Amino acid sequence: MTKKHFIELADAIRDHNRIANNRLKNGDDSLAPFTPEQLGTLAHFCRLQNSGFMRDRWLAYIAGECGKNGGRK
């Protein structure tokens, strides 16, 4: 996998979590956001696919703490 793939996966997770959290705010628990354990499992898989994978940066991007390249949003 390449950096482009990791960003696309992170974008899909961010979209899913945004939708799930919005539903939860409205009392609909039919869709759950990814848990830290699930994200950790995915990050481990990504690291196995590419030794240059930056786990902490990827998780920070998913959490909305930085931009796609680790910089500001």
pLDDT band at 72 (very low <50, low <70, confident <90, very high): confident
Assess contact for 14 and 62: CB atoms under 8 A.
Answer: yes
Determine the residue type at 32: A
pLDDT band at 10 (very low <50, low <70, confident <90, very high): very high
Domain boundaries, the chain: 3-62
The rounded mean pLDDT for the chain is: 95
Secondary structure (H, E, C), the chain: CCHHHHHHHHHHHHHHHHHHHHHHHCCCCCCCCCCHHHHHHHHHHHHHHCCCCCHHHHHHHHCCCCCCCCCCC
Rounded to whole angstroms, the Cα distance separating 23 from 72 reads 28
pLDDT, average across residues 60-65: 96
Query: How much is the pTM?
Result: 0.90
